Structure formats: structure tokens, C-alpha cells
Amino acid sequence: MVERVERATEKHDEGIAEAAPYHTPYFTTAGLLLSVAGAIILMGIITAEALYPAPYDTAANTISDLGGTMPSEGGIVLQPSATIFDATMILAGAMIIVGSLFVYRATERWGATIPLALLGTGILGVGIFPGHVPVWHPIFALLAFVAGGVAAVMAYEVATPPFRYVSAALGVITLVSIVLGFFFLETLDFVASLGEGGIERWIAYPVVLWLTMFGGYLMGHARRRPPGVRP
């Protein structure tokens, strides 16, 4: 009888521990910053595309063309799209960097934090150094793409199913698309048919979707079992 009471008490205590908030403010703040950053990126790109004062094709034009075309393509900067795009990237990048700090405070996992901070740094750099800026823009753009894919995969360690698998899948899509875009754009027909702009969107948009989903996941789990804590 005493043993049964003790076991019941232990189970009750475990249930309370699992249901109790775990660094709740950090999860909530991180989730809010990341989800809003993802929404800002998406809506900023849509707005800049809609207001682009010249023919714009999502297959032929890259996302960065909204801020300024590459020097080899004339380094053309068109307003108001350039200002909208650059401001969007700067704001979202800063929010992601700050959000990554809260992710670390919440989870204490560097593996999930460092790629996220690098993603924010890359996006911030894309806004500060638009497409018409040589050297620096390609570096920050590549950093954002690679770090974004890695961040989505590494979030596997702080997420629980089923989001854990969705997160990893989105990261893999981005990383595979990077390889296809850099090495097979002109040799594989289905990649070539997407165009440079199309394959770049297969690289970027899974990361944007992941940001909004990961942010929502963190906010939703703030008062439940903490990410990374298995039952």
C-alpha cells in the first residue's frame, strides 16, 4: 500500500515537472521574434516584387535583384523596391540574431543556436550589402542560405515530433537545393527549367517557412515540456 502511494506520488510529481513552464519567457520571446521575422521576410519580398518598377520574373530574377542587380548585370537599383527589400532584410536579420540569443537561454544548446545566429547575420548582411555590392553580398547571401539549412536541421535536437521531422526536412530541402543551384543549374533540365530565380526560391523559402513554424512551435511549447526534454 505504501509503495503504491509512493509510486503515485512520483508519477504526480513527474507530471507536474513535465507540465510546468521551462524558461517560459525565453521560449515565448524567441518564438515571437523568429515567427515575426519570417513573416516580415515573406511580406517584404512580396511587396518589393509587386512594386518593382520594371519587368520582374521569378525564374530569371533572383530575390536579391530587388535590392540591386549584380555588377555584372549593370548594378541597377530600382525604387521603392530596393529600400523595401533592404529594410526588410536588416530588420529581420536583427530580429533573428536577438531571437537566437533567447533560444540559447531557453534551451542551452549551442548546436541549435549558432547556425540560427549565423542565419540572422547573413540576412542582415544581405540588407546592408545589397546585390549590386560586389564580394560582400555573395558572401552574406551564401552564409544565410547555408546557415538557414543547417539551423533547420539542427533544430531537430531541441524539437519534439512531429515538428522535429518537418524541421529537418525543410533544412534538407534547402541544402540540397543549394547543391543543385550551384553545381547543376545548367546540366540538369529540371533545375534549368526553374531558372536561377526559381532554384534560389527553393533555397530561401523553406528557411522562411521554417522560421515562422519554429517560432510558433517555441511559443506553443512555452508552457509545456521544453524542447529537447524527452518523455
Average pLDDT, the chain: 87
pLDDT, tens only, 31-71: 999 999 999 999 999 999 999 999 999 999 999 999 999 98
State the pLDDT confidence band at 108, using cuts at 50, 70 and 90: confident
Give the H/E segment covering residue 67: none
Domain assignments of the chain as residue spans, ordered by start: 23-220
What is the reported pLDDT for 24? 77
Predicted pLDDT of residue 230 = 44
Global pTM reads: 0.85
Q: Which residue has the cell 537561454?
A: 105
13 has pLDDT over 60: no
Which H, E and C letters describe 144-201, residue by residue?
Answer: HHHHHHHHHHHHHHHCCCCHHHHHHHHHHHHHHHHHHHHHCCCCCHHHHHHHHHHHHH
pLDDT at 74: 87
DSSP string, 121-144: HHHHHHHHS-TTSTTHHHHHHHHH
State the cell numbers at 65. 535583384
pLDDT digits (tens, 9 = 90+) for 138-185: 999 999 999 999 999 999 888 989 999 999 999 999 999 999 999 999
Q: What pLDDT is attached to residue 14?
A: 39
